[in-house]
Structure 1
């Protein structure tokens, strides 16, 4: 049994946990973006594929409009916690839910965006602290079962009636084992079972709908080395089916054209990239330290439009805050050869609805830039700390910065008239301000003489502040806490 688990295309690998994929198992934008370049990625968009609370109907409708205004043409519905997408994959949507799905498809069409639905009929791999139940195991698809296949086709038929013509058959993040009835049929070959089911669905649905297209999220969806699963897939899966790949890793700091070429050879087709940036679900479910990723897209080669079938970004749980990174993604996908992350980043923040002055929000975002694609903490803060450490007498630049961060919540609420965005970032904004208070206390402590009677009081205040910060799991700017701790004497 494997000793690594892929807990979500947006979740980090964890050692020692079973899992992977199996068959067993509204707000207008300030400006309208120009039309996408004709030479950009054929498929370019967003896949709502994270664990955690799915976006609301209103958030999705707004996001569809946003995508159409930012050079993107695709939205994939794949929230892990929609039961009708995974656990109840074979059940038709009730009338009220179906009406909402139809409204999404209609909004997508009016925005120039293709609406793709992901259906995941395998047995989900449990997250840490969770377990599979007999009911879940029973509900997982038997690939060779004609009854289960007809159930799958009936679900697709309902979705087509709602305006959906592209389906992604998803076997990501489910347990790697076949139902007992499938073991002998497929000689224990998981990829063979998946490919045959996908081929049957493609043939069946194209006979009913000439517009029908099928995408596939495989069990092994990242890496650069050949493996038995891919060996079967590249020969058995119909050439029309586009296949998902997340890069060398689940969360890939870099994705290059040479990597894409190698995977093209291994999959027998150009990969459809599922980019796990700026997704942050793993900071909740795995790390237990929720974090925002507000920096621009980085580390993607400038010619990947010629080496991939398309590009889909997995966003954060916070739909409004995700727009910062997603707007930079739209710029990259539209003109990758001239894309500049910092220029696109500033433009993205300036274009957010309800932002009268981008500077305070830009400051906040610069402390939330560290991510899987950007390993460095805020360099300007680091420079101020280094200058202070080189010259104890000159604490003014550092103190000025900390004063600014302490007052940032007030400044942002004065310059951002976007309540959803303010609500989404509030926990991290408050923590950043509290960290700044700790930094100021540390500076005050360091400037007191050893015999100063105020030192003990300052030391106790700082210790209390640091304990409070440690109890807050939301993570932003740990470099400020590190600095404060370095002066805690």
Structure 2
């Protein structure tokens, strides 16, 4: 039997469709044509299904495209025939095939499909602690399962990204990159590495852009990463102060009409020339990576990198750093800033590192959890894009709902249905009790979503205005708490569930305090007041999870005001 050089999904599909039949790895596999490997691979399971996957490099299908046909043969077998021009197309066909053989088993169905945006994926380029390797591996596999094909590594928690760029990675870290590249190759996901040599968090440690020795050292660091198999470099100047930190750079580039653009262009052209010799790609993130109107910096930068030997994509986040809407007019404006260069849409959602900082540590203190679908991106944006990647946050698994809906939008923006995309997420990740959807509804308004009024929020506001009674609030608190227990564990949402649950407990205790005060119920008042008082430090935490846009806070504070301080419990 010829060796198949990729995961033989026809075997998996036959096993799944035939109700988990214990097919040995190559049971029923035969080469239908003369070419080994993916070309003309067929699988026959014990149920009447023949799955055939054929790789045809001469087909006119777009890259990653495929044609799939489910039909009934004369011998009574159901047949599923797939043709693709690339292995990536066959991978995408598998996702569709799994759905088709379940939903349209008895129907003759023909589907031809391909992605609208060439590079689709996610970044972990947030401010905060870095993910683990296991986290990255999980998200790469999940992203591939939704049809994405790109991942960009670049967390600020890795010092080699910024101020420590001069230091080589350890052998262990390079081995990790190699493992990620191998995993990406298995699942059709390209790995990108971001570097910010101007070190926005520590500009004094940033690169002297006019210094050839510094430039050569950066190319060595880039080679270290490329040697692990990484195929794209993202050279980033985002969040750098709009000026040149080092005196040597101010002298070297001061005569240019825009010295900062000239400095950045010099490094970009040198890096691009070097990447051309390595067969790698370059993405460039300018200082002003948002907006729809040309500006002096971007105009000069684009002019100076016009003749690089490898095409450069320019990072752009839309009209704002975090964009609520991105229209066709916005994308056209973004493209006019960099004529001749595709846009790399760096969508700053669901990243939440901007949402407050702990004053005691200066570290991000994330208050809002963004679980909702990608919305507000016009279907007409797609043609302007070379890449579309969402920026994830410090907690990787809770980013998966947004990632899944972003994958669906970027595959075919014109046919995208946000409601259907969100339902697909719930079907995949949520439990039968709908805990994920319930948690999402308890969250806070995000840059993309103005959540409809939650029944509990309406009741609490009414109670504070003396138009709703305590019994209704307590019943809704109890129902909300019970539904929180159904949140699936797969997305690692336990911290948020615990924090929200605590606030629900505090809100209920506050209602008890208020009602007991009104009725003179001394025992109930004392018990609930003591509960609130004993948890004063937790309730005083500067950045708890924002639940229902903070509606519970004034209720809890009213109860705490009545409760006063705690009664000491120590023995004498």
Under TM normalisation by the shorter chain, which class is it? 0.7 to 0.9
Range moving further from structure 2, 296-305 or 387-396: 387-396
Task: Report the counterpart of residue 367 of structure 2 in structure 1.
Answer: 290
User: How many residues matched?
Assistant: 438
Question: Which residue of 128, 136, 146 maps to 1:60?
Answer: 136
Following superposition, the deviation at residue 263 of structure 1 comes to 1.6
Task: Report the counterpart of residue 295 of structure 2 in structure 1.
Answer: 227
Range moving further from structure 2, 165-174 or 471-480: 471-480
Range moving further from structure 2, 179-188 or 59-68: 179-188
Partners of 1:396 and 1:259 in 2: CA distance: 49
Following superposition, the deviation at residue 226 of structure 1 comes to 3.0
Structure 1 residue 212 corresponds to structure 2 residue 283 = no
Report 1 or 2 for greater relative contact order, CA contacts < 8 Å, sequence distance ≥ 6: 1
Task: Report the counterpart of residue 323 of structure 2 in structure 1.
Answer: 252
* Greater C-alpha radius of gyration: 2
Question: Which residue of 220, 245, 260 maps to 1:154?
Answer: 220
- Could you say what secondary structure the match of 2:434 adopts? helix
Task: Report the counterpart of residue 321 of structure 1 in structure 2.
Answer: 398
Distance 1:378-1:110 versus aligned 2 partners, 3 A rule = farther
Quick check: 2:434–2:486 contact (8 Å CA) kept in 1? Answer: no
Partners of 2:459 and 2:416 in 1: CA distance: 29
Task: Report the counterpart of residue 177 of structure 1 in structure 2.
Answer: 244
Partners of 1:221 and 1:393 in 2: CA distance: 48
Task: Report the counterpart of residue 335 of structure 2 in structure 1.
Answer: 264
Task: Report the counterpart of residue 79 of structure 1 in structure 2.
Answer: 155
- Could you say what secondary structure the match of 2:151 adopts? strand
Structure 1 residue runs of 4 or more that deviate by more than 6 Å after TM superposition: 386-391, 486-489
Distance 1:417-1:123 versus aligned 2 partners, 3 A rule = closer
Partners of 2:515 and 2:357 in 1: CA distance: 41
Task: Report the counterpart of residue 104 of structure 1 in structure 2.
Answer: 180
TM-score normalised by L of structure 1: 0.80
Question: Which residue of 403, 423, 428 maps to 1:351?
Answer: 428
Partners of 1:232 and 1:109 in 2: CA distance: 37
Alignment of 1:18-417 (within 5 A): 33-34=95-96, 37-125=113-201, 132=202, 137=204, 139-175=205-241, 176-187=243-254, 189-206=259-276, 208-209=277-278, 211-238=279-306, 240-268=311-339, 269-283=341-355, 285=357, 288-352=365-429, 356-376=431-451, 378-385=453-460, 392=467, 398-408=473-483, 410-412=485-487, 416-417=488-489
Distance 1:178-1:232 versus aligned 2 partners, 3 A rule = farther
Partners of 2:320 and 2:166 in 1: CA distance: 31
Task: Report the counterpart of residue 533 of structure 2 in structure 1.
Answer: 464
Following superposition, the deviation at residue 479 of structure 1 comes to 1.7
Unpaired runs of 5+ in structure 1? 1-31, 126-131
Following superposition, the deviation at residue 318 of structure 1 comes to 0.9
Higher strand proportion: 2
Partners of 2:313 and 2:332 in 1: CA distance: 15
TM-score normalised by L of structure 2: 0.69
Partners of 1:409 and 1:56 in 2: CA distance: 27
Distance 1:342-1:90 versus aligned 2 partners, 3 A rule = same
